[in-house]
Structure 1
């Protein structure tokens, strides 16, 4: 039976990820088309995750403090549309820094606010979060190839026009969509002090950061590694397809997985699979094996994210759920992505891709041990 109260959130996930897929894969191509240097392209690519780390918790904090998350959501989506149009007008490095920074700053709170609203709407059925979130993966899967075809026919600017149109539709949708307000049972600052002083919170966010670093080392460098092994463009395309299907499969089963293993168990399982994924990448000599390894994308990325969202919902005080979800986004997709890109770049230049993935696998194993020792019944 269809739960009609969840349909607005499914649609929101679909369109927000479709809007992202229409433009974000083409950002670096756009920078290069303007004649920017490699260092300038790298600086622009590093800016969004860095701002996500800073802005997602800050906006979540403001949403909880003011009790007006919907207003912040609407302002953020409106600003993202303006940021996209600013990108199409900027033609200098510093102009792009301002446009990309504006875009990334206001995109940061959108997903954490919606994640929190979805969890509140699910109530005791929070283990069904993945079934809502998988609509985002579907939106990405539908929009990415269509945007690629449009760019081939019309040019790079059309990727941004399409994204702006989808974000505008999302803005209209957000006006009518229910967004949860904080339901604090104690003063805001007292809840914040308890959250920041909680040992399970410290351990969890450390583990989330480590997982984000590991996933970023795959995201940023896998295709470079496969290209070095002689992979064709079709192999890389199929690798993306296999990864997306694996992600959808795990998200569809997320309810059963969380009921069986709980959030902590699923988080540990995702880290174990992530370590195995690294070791598998380290030993392959033929790029075709990457297709099989990409089946682990779901048990690593999707499982880690679903478990993390569920775990944050368990440990966060009622009046700090936007703040906590913002912190999760900031650590995994912000700081984790930035550090993963930097650490991965240093390692592959010094020891090569295979050794980089080997030591990344060892690092994740150490992270698992630290998680188990640090918790010992307290997490």
Structure 2
């Protein structure tokens, strides 16, 4: 019992400092591109699209490696090493390259950002989800600390950004050193024998993981129905969040005030998110994974549409952002549980990184430059109404395409 509790606290702390690092670098990334990099909405859309393409290349690689190595910590060590390099990379490599040529800079940046953050985040989450099954703790209870880490970093990010736009990246590097210590402290048995699996998952352990399992996965109809949900709903989650900080900060008298107020807003939202992350497993276990995904889609539709209807009123826009607090936990927990119930246990990491993250990045790569152009031409409010309608359409479609599986505790 003590050993399981120690593992829980080590990896909950790991979640905290990983998302602290993530938030330090990425919560104001859109603002950094505009104010420090001098990019307009279209330029930022190009960067976000290329970032998504870079993630497309890395997601399947990370997914295959994660399922192949199981509970070995090699991949997490690589990710931590990349995070430690965040400060020098952003200040001395990425920023000068973007100024020299936006396409060269974006391509180089997409490789680093994908490996350290976008795909790195997914690899960390799937690893700890497996640890949770092995040592019998709920993923959401541990992931809650990640939300707290994000909130704490974001609370100060606006202020440190106003001091120096590159300072947050050096904070990320410092936080990553703590991650290295935590990973070194963790002692995980590599055997899968104690993982709490369903009967279907137990039977899947007859054969070891191989590439043919991935081929079998992508030929499955239920795989593509899940991908449709991701392309229609979850990728809009990413597209909306990419430039929302820019929109919210623009509602205030000065960029400095806007940066600071967004930091406070995002911090408050993520603190609420952490509380809901603790409760979300109870909600999803009660209603089932499919209904959880549909609920997340309806919450996203409400949040994005209301952002458009608020039409530049700071307090009203801030209120819509808080819907995010329930939407994110319900979506993440539902995705993990839907994957666990419907797919072979040997391909859970591949399913998460390819079925979810890869598909989401693909959708974002296509929609980000379109959204960036619309922001410049018709404004944020009208663009949000179109994005909201898109989400509602695919939520309705998903009612008929997602599998209605049994609840999973």
* Bucket of the pairwise TM-score, normalised by the shorter protein: 0.7 to 0.9
Alignment CA distance shift 1:302-1:278 (3 Å)? same
TM-score (norm 1): 0.84
Counterparts in 2 of 1:342-361, with a 5 A limit? 342-361=369-388
Matches of 1:41 and 1:282, distance apart in 2: 20
The residue matched to 1:253 in structure 2 has which SS?
Answer: helix
Match of 1:314 in 2: 341
Counterparts in 2 of 1:10-29, with a 5 A limit? 10-25=12-27, 27=29
Alignment CA distance shift 1:22-1:221 (3 Å)? closer
Pick the aligned partner of 2:221 from 193, 199, 211: 199
- Cα shift at 1:213: 2.8
Counterparts in 2 of 1:25-104, with a 5 A limit? 25=27, 27=29, 38=40, 43-67=46-70, 69-82=72-85, 84-90=87-93, 91-93=96-98, 96-97=105-106, 100-104=109-113
Write the deviation string for residues 150-207 of structure 1: whole angstroms up to 9, x where unpaired.
Answer: 4545x34432222112112212322332568695432523422332122222111221
Pick the aligned partner of 1:297 from 299, 324, 334: 324
Match of 1:330 in 2: 358
Do residues 261 (structure 1) and 279 (structure 2) align? no
Match of 1:145 in 2: 155
Query: 2:51–2:111: 8 Å Cα contact kept in structure 1?
Result: no
- Cα shift at 1:313: 2.5
- Cα shift at 1:69: 4.6
Match of 2:122 in 1: 112
Write the deviation string for residues 282-335 of structure 1: whole angstroms up to 9, x where unpaired.
Answer: 322433222332231123233212211222222332222221222223333x33
Select between 304-313 and 122-131 the one with higher mean Cα deviation. 122-131
Give unpaired runs (5+ residues) of structure 1.
none
Give unpaired runs (5+ residues) of structure 2.
193-204
Matches of 1:265 and 1:124, distance apart in 2: 26
Select between 274-283 and 19-28 the one with higher mean Cα deviation. 19-28
User: Once superposed, what is the RMSD of the aligned Cα atoms?
Assistant: 3.4
Select between 115-124 and 226-235 the one with higher mean Cα deviation. 226-235
The residue matched to 1:201 in structure 2 has which SS?
Answer: helix
The residue matched to 1:281 in structure 2 has which SS?
Answer: helix
Counterparts in 2 of 1:232-247, with a 5 A limit? 233=258, 236-237=262-263, 239-247=265-273
- Cα shift at 1:348: 3.7
Matches of 1:348 and 1:33, distance apart in 2: 17
Matches of 1:127 and 1:260, distance apart in 2: 18
Matches of 2:135 and 2:34, distance apart in 1: 46
Matches of 1:299 and 1:30, distance apart in 2: 27
Query: 1:200–1:378: 8 Å Cα contact kept in structure 2?
Result: no
- Cα shift at 1:127: 8.6
Write the deviation string for residues 249-297 of structure 1: whole angstroms up to 9, x where unpaired.
Answer: 3212112112211221111111112222233223224332223322311
Query: 2:50–2:107: 8 Å Cα contact kept in structure 1?
Result: no
Matches of 2:32 and 2:248, distance apart in 1: 24
TM-score (norm 2): 0.78
